[in-house]
Structure 1
């Protein structure tokens, strides 16, 4: 038996060194080394600047330098990187200066926890080392993720030049008259012994003792005739009670109440009589009179256990939601209470120290030195013993806690420094600026508008060591010496010496350096850390020549409407008169898919679930993490789990394989200026590429990376792999290498490869670069390229309409073929002889369908007989044509046993 000829060597099979497996964990670090050595970021930025490209400035919000990079932080930095890379490839000069937030409670808390009793200078030295260590860790992670930035020159809020900028912004606020000192309630963490900013407060469930308390009226029309009844969930604040608030327009019942054993007269708002009876047992037996709240103003009630009276005042914040309609007022322990107290001359009493313990001002010796929350029980006992306790219950509610010590906060009046939001109309100006900014998603506008509208004056002093000093001195009478000139002098000194000079220099020497009179004492407070990051528009955008303010974009997670977005807005409006940003993009938190809880540094590896980004790029590769980041809907919370994360591995494999197939088919291809003779399928794939490019460019413009991911993934899976490449295998492998239609398809594939590789570059930074390098017709880095331009010649035309109809016809054929395959008459599509009837409306396609070469290639069948009839029908049978041993198609064959096309190719090769 003679051997049949082996025609494999006569085929033009795909050839490429681009591997099927990415081996990303091993290969990505090698590429990073190449990028670092070549200075890829600097090359890109310099080239764009030299070309006069328009600027696009994304200002990096500083992550805190106190932990590893978790998946939430990774998502944030990758979204920023995709913005910058896509803007660069869209033709912009887009420098990206990364930064870190270095001061503040979390770092100091960890340092002091490790070693108590340290001197301020030593605390600051250790905090500096701590922050610097985590900056290096985080920077290495961000670089490993393929983020391009000026990594050698980041901004750090602990750098002297940055600290000086903070002090100069503060000086401007002093000059504007926005800074004042006052003893008023602030959110106080006794766990961390400092005042807290709004953004440093988190909420957790708490059970509090809620009590009803009797205050006998001793002055006014009802003196000796009735008692006020109040309800409070903070019994520990009763020693600081100075007033009782009623609503001026509410109707109050003065009535005789009985609990079955005793009878007493109380004043209760009409709407809460039933609730009062239910919770205390005191039921209204007789209405003595009804009065409007305003009629009670000026009356006084006896404090239940201290020798002083409480004044009845009017307040519109009183509600009928719960309680009695009479609100216990302790101006030293609540924002509303403080304002009402100021309006009515009540004064401020706050008998609580830094640790949350009662001071001698509490008025009861047995409570001095006791923690306020532990004192609740004893205060309730005192009220019960004196007959002033009317009712008691457990109250379950959401209560503010310190985000670092996790302890419940207390509202406590202490001397602090504040930024006035209503002085100089700062609040109203900021609200106006909000409406000049584009918020993405649009609900971000309402969220920040509401927080700015409702927030109290900004408490900016912190009782901490690790931070920028609040530049204030005090005279012998403890009066603050504060001025814009002084703050600017401190800024100049700090720029040369750093902020340590404030903490390490004596009062006398520091005063002398600043030209101040002897005898003054420097302040011990530092500035709120949100002042630090909120000044970045001045410290970074103004000080880097390649940047500008306002920035084109700020991009952070949703919590920053209370945090960095807001602090930046307030300080920029005060400092320069407008918002520091033109657009603000907000992404949702990465949350555990099972618990719904936010991933964070403190939660890492809890319950065996890693959230550290290093776990994922060390196991799967950075490009898988990048593809995941591009695939999520950043406008909402992002559910996360390793099983969900793994799902992006399949589209990655598919995209990589598509690039490999294209490179294999482009082996030996040399781009030409000559216009190729595109076939219908070539024209169609280029029109599909045109539409995908259009969709992706629009999606990049609106930062909707998920749309880019979906568009390219579907294009590669459906249009390219399942249709175009599948149909063209015969042409690419079996035609002569220089056949016009093969060269035309290579030209089309060349366009497709360039297009999708460039469009993928901002997302698959490593893989796109690897594919670009493996092409014989590319130069430089893919990241130095422009996005593909839309070619009007490839805009959707009748070609797309024709092919869409041909797909419908193909579906009818496929139904007929599958029936025969099921009946086991034949097993493969290319064995099918199809008899097709098309309706009159498709007669324009008749000539095309009668072209054997076109029909067998497009439909991947053996034969097609077509006629015009009443409707679209197709029947299938097994072809009687022989199989060409070279191309494996059923074709008429010559005496050599080959079909005409294969005979021509083989003969020419000989």
Structure 2
């Protein structure tokens, strides 16, 4: 009992109110509760239920780009997998059969390294271990990490075919990868060639462009003169500049450009003992001459003559190491090349065809010219796989470019010393620049000419009437949808400029390059019967079958002699493995009948334009003629809260496991959905805190909604036409939201989904509709149409909000759904997005209520001051006078209960501007409010202050509305 102002007692009517009733807790406890839902989904096999439920719907296939199975997942994995889950779940709820088959990349160097590290720790020599035994250890290692990552991904709430994933090391996958390679071979696209490739000395293998990253590196820079021995200006020297002095022994030419103006320059003053001496004559690009002389510490020089392109083409030079060990006594020609610029250097490019793609290209294009000039076009193999100079680098054999730890060897210093001794170096320095490194070992790589297996980019494909792989790939890109659209141009530029695809790796753990080469002719054996035997053995035994004794004889059969053929022992680049996944996943209808080819979407980080998107495109175009995907979605990388790259050394790494442990996976999922994934995403303590706060608001809104629905009865459903305007306004907003949310999900714009729904729930529901309707829901009689209408709307809101948020907050929406639908087999994830009738949309009504809400905003602003100054306790103690000067607002308010809308006990509306002291808001002109106290007594049940309180003989301490509610409850036995 409470004391009233008059000293009388007041009955406690709280038990007669329809207050919210729910077990849905305010505190989420996600770290403890989420595993409960995971176990429930596993027990009911929700993924299988989704497949059965959607079996007749159109297919949507997001094909999983396989993560590498060699460690715990990091925040980048979490971002990627959550985004994929958002796509897959939302497309399922939009009405598709959206299956998700996860996969893993299991072959390759990093796993080999781990096994080799274990060997070294035990003093075991890898070369003494049979290759099949070694491969089995690699397989076991990958299996272990697949199991670990599988559980970590599941903990994120990712729904998928976890018990039947794809693995690139499964026997059927290895067989299909081999088949795809043999298709490429049969179409004449595969060849063995000698070409400079990115070579990792540390890892002892060739690398693809996708395996390269560029890092700061300090290189030695030298300016070297090549004395002219034939043609014009024999008293001069052509000067080159290079940041790879170790490639000078492999130099075979100098490249120039006929578009660049060059001149003959003479040194007229230089310090005593300087490398560049008075009287020296150099041929240089005019644009760069001053810079070269500055580097060479030349005090004065003169330009003596023009040197035209015709003169340059006639020149031959001596090698700057001529006379050293008798190995450089050959002419060095000048070749006109499009790759030469005058942006930096000297305008002349040192050309070592074994150590650069441009160098190789111009050398090979000039083969005929070289022979005409009596120059041997053979390319030297100056550096071996361990980074040591070979016999093709006379005078330097045994020196090393890079050691096993990725550090500089002695090659540069020895070459520079020899050039100085021969008087052919004029300057040296250091240059800090971006240099290619292996993205695995993080160590610098070199270009090295080695025999490798390639796929032609520009040779016409056999049986394809002049079609080339590059043309196919470019056409496929033009037919693909990219999110964001800039990805299309990025991938197109990469394909347009890329060299032939190098497939071979000099390692052991992978799918072998399953071809035989005739030892005499060098031709690749093309025989479908042989190919079939290879693939069949892989199906039964895996790729280990290739390494079994007698395998060559088994595969070649009776038609060929094994001793006549070389069995290739290189393995495929793992990008070919993952690039082939479409063939053994998307097209495997026996194993996954609900997947489609091409896939609806490939989704990965933006680095995969040069990785999986790239290799998948080339592989599918090579074997099918078109892309394996209809669309490509890319996301950025994860950064710390300050926008810095996450690094263990900086201590700013945010582990998904830690966020889940402290806050729950739904918080991580909300962060992903709330972020602009097209850019790099930031994640730090403050960002997590902001996400937690946003989640808490959403949860509290849902909790209130569920609590009030405890009083909802299906027999009390009210048709929209019979509802009050406020409820019809909410239906209008649902219709608008349905259109916006569906469109955003279809556009994969999850940030927009979150924005639409959080604004609606926080601003339009919690702070407006729920705030107004609390009184009716709690206090109105059982028979009240207003209360029934509100409950009907709450039911519709619940169905829509839980479904719309289900792809994002997978655990919370399941918990919320089961609060109302706890029956076995029930799940929000078995629902579609609800049908929202378009006829609910009422723009005229919405325009009217926009005016009403503007008036409400002024009233609540005025009352907020009254509360702050403690002139009133709650808004129900007020009965403000509202002055309305705008005829539009007057018309909108006609027939409305503004007291109910503004949550006051009464309101007096007066036409006019109102007195000067009235409260106003600048953004709502024409509305003024004078606060005033409500007259009458306070209702003991609803707390409204009304003159009518006391007029009901049975319930003298409540309003007439509340008295009727009490009578109806009593009649119903409540």
TM-score, structure 2 as length reference? 0.89
Q: Secondary structure at 2:442's aligned position in 1?
A: coil
Runs of 4+ in structure 1 off by over 6 angstroms are none
Corresponding residue to 1:707 among 752, 765, 776? 752
Conserved 8 A contact 1:226-1:264: yes
- Residues 624 and 648, structure 1, Cα contact 8 Å, conserved in 2: yes
Distance 1:99 1:17, change over 3 A: same
- Structure 1 residue aligned with 2:635: 587
C-alpha distance in 1 between matches for 2:603 and 2:69: 18
Q: Distance in 1 between matches of 2:557 and 2:514?
A: 13
Q: Say if 2:783 is the partner of 1:728.
A: no
CA distance in structure 1 between the aligned counterparts of 2:394 and 2:882, rounded to whole angstroms = 101
- Structure 1: distance between partners of 2:35 and 2:729: 39
| Cα distance in 1, alignment partners of residues 89 and 301 from structure 2 | 76
Q: Does 1:272 align with 2:316?
A: no
Which residue of structure 1 lines up, in the alignment, with residue 333 of structure 2? 311
Shift of 1:713: 0.8
Name the CA distance, whole Å, in 1 between partners of 2:557 and 2:699.
Answer: 64
Which residue does the alignment assign to 1:78? 82
Q: What is the DSSP-based 3-state SS (H/G/I as helix, E as strand, rest coil) of the residue aligned with 2:938?
A: coil
The CA distance in 2 between the partners of 1:237 and 1:818, in whole Å, is 78
1:353 equivalent among 360, 367, 384: 384
Asked if 1 retains the 8 angstrom alpha-carbon contact of 2:226 and 2:317, the reply is yes
User: Structure 1 stretch 579-588 or stretch 506-515: which is displaced more?
Assistant: 506-515
> Where does residue 395 of structure 1 map in the other structure?
431
1:243 corresponds to 2:253: yes
> Partner of 1:848 in structure 2?
895
| Inter-partner Cα distance in structure 1 for 2:893 and 2:442 | 76
Instruction: Map 1:803-814; keep pairs closer than 5 Å.
Output: 803-814=849-860
What is the CA-CA distance between 1:203 and the residue it aligns to? 0.8
**Superposition pairs for residues 133-152 of structure 1, below 5 Å?**
133-152=144-163
Determine the C-alpha separation between the residues in 2 that align with 1:798 and 1:438: 38
1:604-657 deviation line (CA, Å, top 9, x unaligned): x55444433222112211111111111110111101223312321111111111
Cα distance, 1:790 vs structure 2: 2.6
Shift of 1:661: 0.6
**Higher mean C-alpha displacement, 638-647 vs 25-34:** 638-647
Change (3 A) 1:590 1:285: closer
1:494-505 to structure 2, matched below 5 A, reads: 494-505=538-549
* Aligned equivalents of 2:150, 2:585: Cα separation in 1: 18
For residue 349 of structure 2, give the secondary structure of its aligned residue in structure 1.
strand
1:908 positional shift? 3.4
| Structure 2 Cα separation of the partners of residues 662 and 675 of structure 1 | 20
Q: Which moved more, 1:475-484 or 1:783-792?
A: 475-484
Rounded to whole Å, the distance in 2 between the matches of 1:701 and 1:255 is 66
**Quick one: which of 674, 696, 719 aligns to 2:764?**
719
**Residue of structure 1 in register with 2:324 after alignment:** none
The 1:674/1:815 distance shift into structure 2, 3 A limit, reads closer
Give the unaligned 5+ runs of structure 1: none
**Rounded Cα–Cα distance in structure 1 between residues aligned with 2:531 and 2:768:** 70
Structure 1 stretch 58-67 or stretch 518-527: which is displaced more? 518-527
The residue correspondences of 1:791-810 to structure 2 (distance < 5 A) are 791-810=837-856
Describe how 1:368-447 pairs up with structure 2 within 5 A.
368=399, 371=402, 373-424=409-460, 425-447=468-490
CA drift of 1:370 comes to: 6.7
Q: CA deviation at 1:480?
A: 5.8
Of 901, 905, 910, the match for 2:961: 901
Q: Could you tell me whether the CA contact under 8 Å between 1:469 and 1:502 is conserved in 2?
A: yes
Correspondence list, 1:647-796, <5 A: 647-672=690-715, 675=719, 677-775=722-820, 780-796=826-842
CA shift for structure 1 position 509:
4.7
Rate the CA distance shift 1:801–1:319 in 2: closer, same or farther, 3 A.
Answer: same
**Any residues of structure 2 matched to 1:212-611 within 5 Å, and which?**
212-223=223-234, 225-260=235-270, 261=272, 262=277, 263-282=279-298, 285-305=301-321, 306-345=328-367, 346-365=377-396, 367-368=398-399, 371=402, 373-424=409-460, 425-474=468-517, 476=519, 479=522, 481-483=524-526, 485=528, 486-506=530-550, 509-510=553-554, 516-519=560-563, 520-544=565-589, 545-594=593-642, 596-597=644-645, 599=646, 603=647, 606-611=649-654
C-alpha distance in structure 2 between counterparts of 1:66 and 1:208, whole Å: 33
Tell me if structure 2 keeps the 8 A contact 1:255–1:285.
yes
Match of 1:175 among 181, 186, 189: 186
Aligned residues: 898
**In 2, Cα distance between equivalents of 1:501 and 1:531:** 19
Residues 1:837 and 2:841 are matched in the alignment: no
TM-score of the aligned structures, taking structure 1 as reference length: 0.95
Structure 1 stretch 544-553 or stretch 54-63: which is displaced more?
A: 544-553
Give the stretch that moved more between structures: 137-146 or 331-340: 137-146
**SS of residue paired to 1:405:** coil
Q: Could you tell me which residue of structure 2 aligns to residue 887 of structure 1?
A: 942
> Which consecutive unaligned segments of at least 5 residues does structure 2 have?
1-6, 322-327, 368-376, 403-407, 461-467, 914-925
Alpha-carbon contact 1:511-1:518 (below 8 Å) kept: no
What secondary structure sits across from 1:422 in the alignment? Answer: coil
Moved more, 785-794 or 236-245: 785-794
**Partner Cα separation in structure 1 for residue 206 and residue 893 of structure 2:** 82
